[in-house]
């Protein structure tokens, strides 16, 4: 044996040293292998966890954004359609009023005296005035009824002055003369000051109204004298079954164009498509959504883009929810709302890339934070390996025990962290710091990074939860509104047990949570019962509020006495005082004498009543309609009477019954309605209404309910 440096080489000391060295090397080797295994395992777990978290965040974010966008864009499209449609609704209402007055005037000429009317005068330019124009080959003196038509002057002048949207209103005779009101008298003269002629019977509005036989909206046309683009609403006037004139009004479309162009102030834009599938208003300057002149327009329904064609075709028929369509190489979110008055539709568009920005930002932030965490981890792992090599040398020098202690201190936090990360799944995304990670080295840094990422993820989920709770609160409030509305209508049957001389039953099924239809019945005295059936314009909460006000006014004025026409007149005047939203309601109101069966009634633009004689079948009673309630102040209504026999039944309804639509866009119609009633004509009112509801449901099938469904039946016993 040789002794050197205090160690005996070849002796027991060397063997012990060799044994210790072998033992230490073995331990170090095992420790090193375990560290490498755990480090690789942790790296794999971290990568997999990051992928799962990214997938979860992406899925939840996209789903939440889609739901929020669907709700907001649908509400926005509906509001935008209502705003745009209000203009055309007002024009349509004015033209209807002109038509009714003109038909009465031509039918009762003995009640009017001829009025004079003069040609346009340049000095009237800028002032509302009544003017006469005619075709080149027409002499106004040959028109024997021109003086009668001039009786429309005061009504048209008043209508023009009181409207914010009309640019003119007129009555054109079949002899080629036209009496009109506007404030552009100077436009009727050429550059030489000569009065221009006007081909009345060749204008699109004249031909369209004559062919259709009803209210007619032209497309975008240039004004005959100013060349300003506009739209004309016209209607034919008949006397003794013959066409005698065409009345109408026109508007310039500057306001609508400004409204559409202003939509570019936001991240999306609005465009308007006419009934032919053509873009007529759009703020876009290029591409598919660009608005062009009528000679260059194309029908989007027959274009190469099948997805867009299908969307536009459907949009002209009904509201369309959030839909993703690729247009001009870009993905758009589209939704639409039809404009009921003119048959056009408003399309609200939003570039999908704008919607994806929040989600992509969130994912980018996540990837950045995760990348930083992984980079920090890899740096820490590299530094740990260097430290480990130094520790191996120290362990070889100091002792195996110290190596085991140090190894334990390194391995235990990693094992704990790995186990916690493996447990993270589903909704359990919380990773919190505890004392086992506080090693004052890179492991603590990595653990802190995981804890920070976990807190941010949980905060995002909490925000989504709050948004969901708010939607549930709104749903609960609408449910309460539905109950309140239902409680406003008579719903206890029989309502008057002491009166056995009649049987009455009614029902109302709203299309939305709350509706605009309503019915009512009440005893005016022991021998008379008032009956109301009405339909408010629009849907939802605004229509429900307007419904409640109308119901109260009708019943209050009825109980104060007076015939149905007087009650409707008082109700109309009261509503028109504060009707800034320009809503209206169609009303049928009748008073039934329970002793004689006589019914005195008035109809304000509502559906025809249906009656059945004691031993007959149900038939439609085509009464004379008046103007709607709330449409114009000072309107007069007319009473009419009929007799309800003992054993006879009166059936009232809103347009939701005949206009119920199935999946093939077919209407239920009056013929099916009469067939359902006559299936059991002698049945009691409750059974009759049940038969009608069953027939409508079977016809509609799975198609959504488009309008409120309201019915009332009363039978004299």
CB 36, CB 396: distance < 8 Å: no
Which residue in this structure is represented by tokens 């000679």? Answer: 295
The pLDDT of residue 52: 74
CB 529, CB 710: distance < 8 Å: no
Q: How many Å apart are CA 42 and CA 437, to the nearest integer?
A: 14
Q: How many Å apart are CA 465 and CA 469, to the nearest integer?
A: 6
Q: State how far Cα 450 lies from the chain centre.
A: 44
CB 57, CB 429: distance < 8 Å: no
Which H or E run includes 513?
none
Q: How many Å apart are CA 206 and CA 262, to the nearest integer?
A: 33
Radius of gyration of the chain, Cα coordinates, nearest whole angstrom: 40
Would you list the DSSP string of 368-414?
Answer: HHHHHHHHHHHHHHHHHHHHHHHHHHHHHHS-HHHHHHHHHHHHHHH
Per cent of the chain over pLDDT 90 is 46
**Ramachandran bin of 650, using left for φ above 0, alpha for ψ from -120 to 50, beta for the remaining angles:** beta
Q: How many Å apart are CA 228 and CA 222, to the nearest integer?
A: 5
- CA torsion sign for 104, 106, 111, 114 is positive
Which segments of 2-140 does DSSP mark as H helices, in order? 12-107
Q: How many Å apart are CA 567 and CA 522, to the nearest integer?
A: 14
Q: How many Å apart are CA 370 and CA 49, to the nearest integer?
A: 10
Q: How many Å apart are CA 392 and CA 403, to the nearest integer?
A: 7
The pLDDT of residue 50: 65
**Ramachandran bin of 459, using left for φ above 0, alpha for ψ from -120 to 50, beta for the remaining angles:** alpha
CB 317, CB 301: distance < 8 Å: no
Q: How many Å apart are CA 299 and CA 312, to the nearest integer?
A: 9
Q: How many Å apart are CA 591 and CA 594, to the nearest integer?
A: 9
701: exposed, middle or buried (Cβ count in 10 Å: 0-12, 13-18, 19+): exposed
Q: How many Å apart are CA 373 and CA 445, to the nearest integer?
A: 9
pLDDT tens string 7-50: 556 555 566 567 767 877 777 777 667 767 776 776 677 677 76
The token duo for 310 is 């299908």
CB 112, CB 148: distance < 8 Å: yes
Quote the Cα angle for 628-631-636, to 5°.
65
Q: How many Å apart are CA 431 and CA 418, to the nearest integer?
A: 11
Which H or E run includes 218?
none
CB 149, CB 179: distance < 8 Å: yes
pLDDT tens string 91-125: 999 999 999 999 999 999 999 999 999 999 999 99
The token duo for 669 is 């119609």
Collapse the DSSP code of 271 into the 3-class scheme (helix H, G, I; strand E, B; otherwise coil) and give the result: strand
CB 638, CB 566: distance < 8 Å: no
Q: How many Å apart are CA 648 and CA 612, to the nearest integer?
A: 5
CB-based contacts of 2: which residues, under 8 Å, 6+ apart? 8, 9, 10
The pLDDT of residue 418: 73
pLDDT tens string 428-480: 666 777 777 787 887 778 778 777 877 777 777 778 777 766 766 655 555 55
411: exposed, middle or buried (Cβ count in 10 Å: 0-12, 13-18, 19+): middle
pLDDT tens string 230-255: 789 999 999 999 999 999 998 876 65
Question: Which regions in the chain score pLDDT beneath 50?
Answer: 403-404
E-strand stretches of 294-378: 320-327, 330-339, 344-351
Longest C-alpha distance within the chain, in Å?
150
């Amino acid at each position: 044996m040789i002794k050197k440096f205090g160690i005996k080489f070849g002796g027991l000391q060397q063997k012990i040293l060799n044994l210790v060295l072998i033992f230490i090397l073995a331990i170090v080797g095992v420790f090193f292998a375990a560290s490498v295994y755990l480090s690789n395992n942790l790296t794999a777990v971290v990568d997999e966890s990051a992928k799962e978290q990214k997938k979860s965040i992406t899925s939840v974010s996209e789903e939440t954004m889609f739901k929020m966008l669907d709700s907001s864009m649908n509400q926005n499209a509906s509001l935008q359609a209502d705003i745009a449609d209000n203009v055309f609704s007002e024009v349509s209402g004015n033209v209807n009023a002109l038509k009714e007055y003109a038909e009465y005037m031509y039918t009762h000429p003995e009640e009017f005296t001829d009025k004079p009317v003069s040609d346009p005068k340049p000095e009237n330019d800028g002032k509302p005035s009544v003017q006469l124009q005619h075709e080149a080959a027409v002499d106004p003196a040959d028109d024997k009824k021109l003086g009668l038509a001039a009786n429309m002057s005061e009504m048209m002048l008043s209508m023009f002055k009181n409207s914010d949207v009309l640019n003119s209103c007129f009555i054109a005779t079949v002899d080629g003369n036209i009496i009109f009101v506007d404030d552009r008298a100077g436009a009727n003269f050429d550059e030489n000051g000569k009065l221009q002629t006007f081909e009345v019977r060749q204008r699109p509005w004249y031909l369209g109204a004559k062919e259709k036989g009803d209210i007619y909206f032209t497309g975008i046309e240039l004004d005959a004298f100013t060349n300003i683009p506009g739209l004309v609403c016209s209607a034919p006037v008949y006397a003794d079954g013959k066409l005698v004139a065409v009345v109408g009004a026109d508007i310039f479309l500057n306001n609508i164009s400004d409204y559409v162009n202003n939509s570019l102030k936001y991240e999306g834009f609005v465009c308007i498509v006419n009934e032919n599938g053509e873009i007529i208003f759009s703020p876009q300057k290029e591409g598919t959504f660009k608005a062009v002149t009528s000679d260059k327009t194309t029908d989007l329904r027959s274009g190469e883009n099948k997805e867009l064609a299908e969307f536009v075709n459907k949009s002209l028929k009904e509201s369309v929810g959030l839909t993703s369509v690729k247009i001009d190489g870009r993905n758009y979110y589209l939704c639409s709302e039809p404009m009921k008055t003119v048959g056009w539709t408003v399309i609200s568009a939003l570039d999908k890339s704008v919607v994806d920005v929040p989600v992509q930002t969130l994912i980018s932030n996540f990837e950045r934070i995760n990348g930083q965490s992984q980079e920090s981890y890899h740096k820490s792992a590299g530094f740990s390996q260097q430290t480990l090599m130094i520790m191996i040398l120290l362990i070889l020098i100091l002792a195996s025990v110290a190596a085991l202690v140090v190894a334990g201190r390194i391995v235990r936090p990693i094992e704990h962290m790995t186990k916690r990360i493996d447990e993270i799944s589903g909704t359990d995304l919380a990773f919190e710091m505890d004392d086992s990670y506080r090693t004052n080295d890179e492991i603590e840094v990595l653990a802190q990074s995981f804890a920070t990422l976990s807190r941010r993820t949980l905060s995002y989920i909490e925000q989504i939860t709050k948004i969901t709770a708010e939607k549930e609160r709104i749903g609960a409030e609408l449910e309460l509104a539905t109950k309140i509305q239902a409680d406003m209508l008579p719903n206890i049957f029989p309502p008057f047990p002491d009166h056995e001389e009649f049987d009455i039953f009614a029902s109302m099924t709203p299309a939305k949570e709350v509706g605009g239809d309503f019915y009512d019945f009440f005893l005016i005295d022991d021998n008379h019962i008032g009956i109301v059936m009405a339909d408010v314009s629009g849907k939802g909460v605004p229509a429900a509020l307007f419904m409640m006000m109308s119901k109260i006014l009708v019943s209050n004025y009825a109980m104060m006495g007076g015939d149905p026409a007087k009650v409707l007149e008082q109700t109309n005047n009261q509503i028109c005082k504060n009707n800034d939203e320009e809503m209206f309601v169609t009303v049928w109101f009748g008073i039934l004498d329970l002793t004689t069966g006589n019914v005195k009634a008035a109809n304000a633009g509502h559906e025809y009543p249906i009656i059945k004689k004691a031993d007959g079948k149900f038939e439609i009673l085509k009464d004379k309609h008046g103007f709607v309630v709330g449409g114009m102040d000072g309107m007069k209504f007319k009473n009419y009477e009929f007799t309800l026999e003992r054993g006879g039944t009166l059936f009232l309804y809103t347009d939701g019954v005949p206009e119920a639509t199935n999946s093939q866009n077919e209407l239920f119609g009056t013929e099916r309605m009469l067939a359902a009633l006559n299936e059991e004509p002698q049945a009691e009112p409750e059974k009759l209404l049940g038969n009608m509801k069953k027939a409508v449901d079977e016809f509609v099938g799975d198609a959504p309910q488009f309008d409120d469904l309201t019915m009332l039946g009363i039978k004299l016993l």
